[in-house]
Structure formats: C-alpha cells, structure tokens
Amino acid sequence: MDEDSDSSVVSDDSLLNFAPRTTPKDTTHVPQTSQLVEIPAIFTVEGEKNRKLLQQNEEIQNSIVEDQKRALERSNATKELQLRVLDEINDNGSDFLFSMKSDAKIIEDYMERIHGQDTNILFERHYYFLLNCPIVKLDLPLNLVLQLVIEDLPAMMQDQLIFDRIMQANNLNDFDLLVSALRYGKDPATLQLARQAISRRPHNEKWDENPLANDQKDLFGKIIAAIGGLETEYMTLKLVHYNNNPEILVHRLSIIFKFHLKYLKDTSIADRLFRTFVHASSDFLLNKTCNHALVTELMIPTFCKFVSWHTHQFDKIIEDSVAQASIAEKLHIILALLKVQIFKENLTHKAWEQHYAFLENLSSHESVMDEHSQNVLDRLIHLFLDTEPAPNLLRPMISVLRKLATQLAAQSNETESCGMFAVKLVISLLSKDLNRWLDFPRQEFHDLNEQLRATKSEYQRAIGSPHLARMEPMKRHKISMALGEAYHDLDYMSTVLDKNMILIRNNEFYEST
C-alpha cells in the first residue's frame, strides 16, 4: 500500500509496539477541498425527488386526516341539527310526535332551511302559551252537585235565585264553581256564564280562611298548569304548535283570572298574575284564530280588573292622575322585562313584538273600558314610546317621530329593534284622532306633516345604508323588513295628512294660529 495515500492508517509494526513509521503529508500544492467526498449529481437529483415525494405524501396524509375530521364534524353537526329540529317540532303542544322514520322529508326540509339560513324561517317561529288540553285534570276536590249544575248551567242561570239557593244549600263557594266549570264546562257559553256568576256573587270571606287560599301563588300555578299553561321565564319561539280548542282556552283563562283577581291579596301575587296574563294574551294561536274573543272576553275585562285592584291599593287622598301614573309605571316594568328566545337557544331578546301587540289589542277596544283603565292604557302606550302624555296628541307624536329619525341617523340598534312597532303605535294613535283634525292648530298639523316626511326619508335612507349591507343575511333580512314596513306605514300616514292639509288650507273658518 502506498504510504502517501494511506498515511493516516496505523501500520502493522505499530501493532507490535514498534515505533510507527509515518511520512508527513505534503499539502503544499493540494487544495483543502479535494479532501471532501463528491456525490454524483444523479444521486443529488434523486434524493431531492424522494424528499419532495415524502413531503407530498405527508401533506396528502394530513389532508386526508383533516378531511376525515371535517367530515366527522359535519356528520356530528348534521345529527345535532336533526335532533334539535326533531325536539323543536315535537314540542308542539300535543301528544303527536314526529320521527325520522315517518317524517324524514319534513325534518330534512327544516334542516336545509335552517342550515341555509332561509330568512323566511325567522317569521315562522311564534310564541305559544297553551298546550292542547281537551280535558282539565285537577288534583283538587270536585263536587257532584256542581257537575250537574255546570252541565245544565244555561238553563240554571235563567233563574239566578234558584242558582244561588243551590250554591248556599250545598255550602259551595266561588272556588268550587271555578274548578267545576274548568272540569265540566264543554263550551264557551257555559264558561262565560260561570264567569259571570263568579263576578256577580259577593266576596266570600270564608274563602280567605280556606287552606287552599293561604298560598295563592301555588294554587294559581296548579290551575294554570292544569289547563295547559306554560309559565316560563322566557317566551320561547317555536316552529310548530297544535291546539284544537283555542276559544275554550280563552274562556278558561278568563274565568281563572276573574276568580284570582276577585280574591287577590298582595302585590307580589298581582305581579305574577299580570306577567302570566301578558304571556297568555301573547299566544300566537289565540291571536290568530280567535282574536276578538281573546280581546273582549279575556284581555279587556282582566286588564280593567288589574287597574281597579291597583287603584284600591292607593290611599283615597292620592289624586287619580298620580295613582294612574304609578299603576302604568308598575305594569310597564313587567312588560318591558319580557324576553323571547328561539327554542333551545340561550340568546334572549326584548319582546318588542309581544309588548306592542298587547298594547295594540287593548287599544283596539279601549272604548269599552272605564275611564281609569283608558288613562292607564294611554300612559302605557306613551311609556313604550318614551314620551309624556299631553292634552294635544300631535306634540308628543312629533317628538317621537323626531327621536326615531335621530336614532336611525345614528344607526341605533334600539331603533332597528323596536322602531317599527313605535311607528305602528304612532300611526294607530294618530288615526284615531284624525277625525277631529279641526281641533288642532294649523301650525302643529303642518309640523307633524313635515316631521312625518323627514322621518320617512330617514327610513328610506336606512334601507339602502351600507351599514345594513354589512350585516349577516338573517339579521339583515329581519331589519330590512322592519324598516320597510315602518317606511310604508309612514308613507301612508303622510299621504293622509297631505289630503287633510288641502282641506285645512281650503277651509277659511279653520283657525290660523
């Protein structure tokens, strides 16, 4: 072996402990780089190819894992949505149950619409207070005599003296009449007669000593539950609900509130009753199918009784106007605290629509109310509009319209939420008073007309606002619908006022102030 080429290797002599024989390297003319091993180019290229293949394989594997993860998430989300829809449509107030086996098409249709954010589904969910309850089952004493009386009540009530003697001879009270009417009353006429009997009969002092009367809240809750009432903290909006006897339920509610308000003891119970009264009056099915009976048989009598009860709580030396303002403030707080939520969702919203509908229903029949109740209702409407009542209606309405225009210009969420209902109340109030337009000063009429136009223009601007275009689709559709409806209401009233202004200008006897 050549020593120059292998000088770094230990020789055979060194293994025998002889002194190694080495020759110093002559590196004078050899470059340092010549000592590195040169890899042929073909191996470098192939190595780079292999590295890229390994990287691509790793990326593909990661992509497959991510796709599988996303597919699992989609599958779980689909199952979760399926169960949610099934739960929602099965919470329908009846014993009827949907299933994936027999109702897959219905469930899948709802799933597609919810997943695709179909904006129309926003307006298909409603609040329902009452379950379908054809038979009232009360875990309370029932009387056989009253069963016979109730079943023949129309004939029995033709002679009230005989009816009263039967009640007295059998030691029966208003509560017995209430329970028997709920259990055996099969038609609205019978329930209406039973309510009239409770209203006509004098207050029974012995009932106040009855153990059942000691906890009126508990008793009221049991009776409301027995007729299918759902007393919940929030008003839940749902897609489907069935109820085959809404008018009967209206009369059942009416007789329940008649009895409990007759024997009402304290304010805390009154608040509970009023909150439940508002919830019951907001039932979508009752409003849709028997609105007249709801308003005339339940809402008007019960509201007037609430006002009367609260009025009697005030000292006689307090002025009526002060008492009415206090009552309105108290009832308004309960209304303003109403909250709605979509089924199985935690997010809650102020119940503007239910608050407005409650006031509008009462306002539509206020002519049959007593004066005290009318004044309290008027204050409740002005509290909703955040303005003070005034002898001249035009001034506060101008103020409300100006405020709505200002809030819209500032892109206020408050206006987006409740502005449409405020506009509807303004239009409703103005429509009632326009038949006496001669009572209003010409300048105020002119100012109202100008403010209507200005507010209408602000709503028109808001409909095309970039602020609206940037919202997510569901919210944008909901708000644009509200803005559009308010705009059309204002446009209608503006047209009416324009015609009235022509009459005013042509009437030479109209006052010129």
For the stretch 342-390, pLDDT in tens is 998 888 888 999 999 999 999 999 989 999 999 999 999 999 999 988 8
Least confident of 153-167, 181-195, 292-306, 436-450: 436-450
When pLDDT is cut at 50, 70 and 90, the band that residue 43 belongs to is: low
420 vs 30: CA distance, rounded Å: 94
SS3 call for 340: strand
365 vs 323: CA distance, rounded Å: 23
The beta strands (E) that lie in 290-398 are given as: 339-342, 349-350
Using alpha carbons, select from 503, 500, 335, 494 the residue that is nearest to residue 427.
494
pLDDT of residue 15: 41
Side-by-side strand order, sheet with 235-238: 126-127, 235-238, 339-342, 349-350
Query: Could you tell me the residue ranges of all domains in the chain?
Result: 398-513
Take residue 269 and report the two structure tokens written for it.
């119970």
- CB count in 10 Å sphere of residue 143: 17
When pLDDT is cut at 50, 70 and 90, the band that residue 12 belongs to is: very low
The 8-class DSSP code of residue 342 comes to E
* Residue 42 pLDDT exceeds 70: no
CA atoms 40, 41, 42, 46: torsion sign: positive
Please state, in angstroms and as integers, the Cα–Cα distance from residue 492 to each residue in 30, 332, 488, 496, following that order: 103, 29, 6, 6
15 vs 11: CA distance, rounded Å: 7
* CB-based contacts of 397, cutoff 8 Å, min separation 6: 426, 429, 430, 448
When pLDDT is cut at 50, 70 and 90, the band that residue 151 belongs to is: confident
Cβ atoms of residues 353 and 478 within 8 Å = no
Take residue 264 and report the two structure tokens written for it.
């009402």
**Of all helices (H) and strands (E), which one includes residue 117?**
none
227 vs 182: CA distance, rounded Å: 8
* Residue 2 pLDDT exceeds 80: no
Q: What percent of the chain has pLDDT over 70?
A: 86
31 vs 92: CA distance, rounded Å: 92
Quote the radius of gyration of the chain (alpha carbons, Å): 39
pLDDT of residue 415: 55
Question: Which region, left, alpha or beta, applies to residue 344 given φ > 0 means left and ψ of -120 to 50 means alpha?
Answer: left
The 8-class DSSP code of residue 335 comes to H
* CB-based contacts of 175, cutoff 8 Å, min separation 6: 207, 210, 212, 213, 259
438 vs 505: CA distance, rounded Å: 12
Take residue 122 and report the two structure tokens written for it.
């926003």
pLDDT tens string 415-459: 566 888 999 999 988 887 776 666 777 788 889 889 999 999 988
pLDDT of residue 11: 44
For residue 337, count CB atoms less than 10 angstroms from its CB and return exposed for 0-12, middle for 13-18, buried for 19 or more: exposed
Q: What percent of the chain has pLDDT over 90?
A: 46
* Residue 27 pLDDT exceeds 60: no
Take residue 74 and report the two structure tokens written for it.
């989609």
pLDDT tens string 67-126: 999 999 989 988 999 999 999 999 999 999 999 999 999 999 999 988 877 878 878 999
109 vs 311: CA distance, rounded Å: 53
Please state, in angstroms and as integers, the Cα–Cα distance from residue 63 to each residue in 51, 55, 59, 75, 77, following that order: 18, 12, 6, 18, 20
Q: How many residues does the chain have?
A: 513
166 vs 174: CA distance, rounded Å: 13
Please report how many Cα atoms fall inside a 13 Å half-sphere around the Cα of residue 401, on the Cβ side: 30
Cβ atoms of residues 336 and 398 within 8 Å = no
209 vs 223: CA distance, rounded Å: 19
217 vs 275: CA distance, rounded Å: 12
475 vs 117: CA distance, rounded Å: 10
Take residue 406 and report the two structure tokens written for it.
């200002």
**How would DSSP label each residue in 288-310?**
HH-HHHIIIIIIHHHHHHHHHHH
Cβ atoms of residues 459 and 490 within 8 Å = yes
The beta strands (E) that lie in 90-221 are given as: 126-127
* Residue 511 pLDDT exceeds 60: no
Please report how many Cα atoms fall inside a 13 Å half-sphere around the Cα of residue 324, on the Cβ side: 17
Q: Any idea which residue has 């099934």 for tokens? A: 86
Take residue 254 and report the two structure tokens written for it.
């009416």
Take residue 64 and report the two structure tokens written for it.
């497959």
Take residue 256 and report the two structure tokens written for it.
């329940």
Backbone angles phi, psi at 74, to 5 degrees: -65, -40
Using alpha carbons, select from 315, 236, 229 the residue that is nearest to residue 272.
229
pLDDT tens string 302-339: 999 999 999 888 766 677 788 889 999 999 999 999 99
Take residue 149 and report the two structure tokens written for it.
């009386």
